[in-house]
Chains A and B, each alone.
Chain A
Amino acid sequence: MGWLRRAIGYLGAAAALVAGWWLLALIVDSPALPGPGLALGDFATLFFSDLLPELGVSAWRVVASMAISVALAAPLGLLVGRSPRLDAVVAPMIFLTYPVPKIVFLPVLLVLLGIGGAPKIALIALIVFFQILVTARDAARQIPAASVLSVRSLGATRSQVFRHVVVPAALPDIFTALRISTGTAIAVLFFSESIAGTSGVGYYIIDAWSRIAYSEMFAGIITMALLGVVLYELLEMAEARVCAWTRAGR
């Protein structure tokens, strides 16, 4: 039932989007903005031959980098948030480095790691790492004292408090941060793939653009959008499974 309503919602939204696109293409009337018919046609014919391999490369880069950053940032953020002593050391470092736009380090990463997948994964991981770190730390700090006390009264050790209280209480916030990060991650992916390298959907889009193959370029754009939607939806599904309690009693 739930997924059916969702699918209908997605179809409706897609239809509205295509209609708007079609209208805009009519008004702009430029080869740089082909109508949806042309672009979707190219998308359909090119998907399995040209786009799918690039999509695989790009998806791997995003998923790997997000997995790395969440694996590092979530535990660290929770620990820092629960330990005033650790927080006193780490928080100033976070506040100092968080506002720095990490994307400017791309040239450095390109020099250090070459122009393959590694610098892209590193850059996305670096950016998402801080978003998760800050969220996890805040979530851990906001856990109600009563929850911790009640578990401690049952004789829980520090690690049991983490397992039964801190981690489950922070998970919904961490999932939200992850979902928001998919947008950032894909933007950074596009940027880094279009600057350097010869693979990935970002490269495909820029390559089509330089060849003035506008409908191909749009097929690439659709693929990039698809990657974002699928990632977002997968995270949503994972959250619904892992954090079922957030939907209880509403």
Chain B
Amino acid sequence: MARVEVRDISVVYEGADRSVRALDSCALDVADGEPIAIIGPSGCGKSTLLLAAAGLVRPSAGEVLVGGRAVDAPRLKTALILQDFGLLPWKTVFHNAALGLEIRGVAGAERARLVAEALERLGLAEFASAYPAELSGGMRQRLALARALALDADTLLMDEPLSALDALTREDLQGLLLDIWRQRRHTAMLVTHSIEEAVFLGRRVVVLSPRPGRVAAVVDNPEMGAEGYRETSAFYERCAELRALLAAEGALHGAAAGGEA
């Protein structure tokens, strides 16, 4: 249903006085229902890759296919969680969560039911009438997730969704993301700066090269999703393997290393 095929895309941002090549012949194939993690040095084009997959950035070469069809505009069954969550400060928790459904023209009663369900699932039900400014970082994150869940999307694109959180909340939400994936089996592309998070949530971990981003390596991680995987020695070995790959890409000297404290 929702296989994501990234076919040799290049993305160039035209600035006022110079242009930046963010991605260069980047190719990637994500199977239907497969969760992958994407990791790479800061500024290598990870966000750009997700935006292209979401149909918000047009590649200057190559194309992205989702569910077998080229995306040239946002696709209704794809949900995108932006790096800064993309919540609207002037809408309440309820209306933020309902936004996608409203834009898609889902009728009021049905919308209320789906949103209530999603908020309940993420433990935000009692904050339905609060504004984002009144939420903690972790709650805002869960709200962004609720909005995506309410859409019943088959493809979930997430751009460092947990990076602003403290370690405890972060592990908690990583577990939640895993639960949701186990339940729904959606295709997932998760961009992260955290090696542990990539190994915990990605069946494959894609390592991008420094800008312009290309796929530098793909690490298979078949044990992902297994009970208690985080505590196994296989998990640590996979992390170590990834760390070595990233070091080879020069990712651990710059700002990207900050996420791994």
Question: What residues of chain A have their CB less than 8 Å away from a CB belonging to chain B?
Answer: 146-147, 149-156, 160, 164-165, 168-169, 171, 243-246, 248-250
Contact = CB atoms under 8 A, between A and B. Distances in A.
B90 A149 contact: no
Contacts of A160: 103
Nearest to B85: A150
A249 B133 contact: yes
A153 B82 contact: yes
Interface residues of B, number: 33
Return the 6 tightest CB-CB contacts between A and B, nearest first.
A150-B86, A249-B133, A248-B131, A153-B80, A168-B90, A154-B100
A155 B104 contact: yes
A152 B76 CA distance: 11
A245 B99 contact: no
B21 to A, nearest CB: 20
B134 interface: yes
B99 A154 contact: yes
Nearest to A161: B103
Contact of A149 (B56, B92, B99, B134): B56
Given A152-B56, A152-B74, A249-B133, A168 B103 contact: no
Contacts of B85: 150
Contact of B82 (A146, A165, A169, A171): A146
Contacts of B74: 152-155
Given A149-B86, A169-B90, 17 more contacts: A146-B82, A147-B86, A147-B88, A150-B85, A151-B88, A155-B103, A155-B104, A156-B103, A164-B99, A168-B88, A168-B90, A243-B90, A245-B133, A248-B130, A248-B133, A248-B134, A249-B132
B76 A155 contact: yes
Interface string B28-46: 0000000000000000000
B84 interface: yes
29 contacts: A146-B84, A146-B86, A149-B51, A149-B82, A149-B86, A150-B85, A150-B87, A150-B88, A151-B88, A152-B74, A153-B54, A153-B56, A153-B74, A153-B78, A153-B79, A154-B100, A155-B100, A155-B103, A155-B104, A164-B102, A168-B88, A169-B90, A245-B90, A245-B133, A248-B89, A248-B131, A248-B133, A248-B134, A249-B135
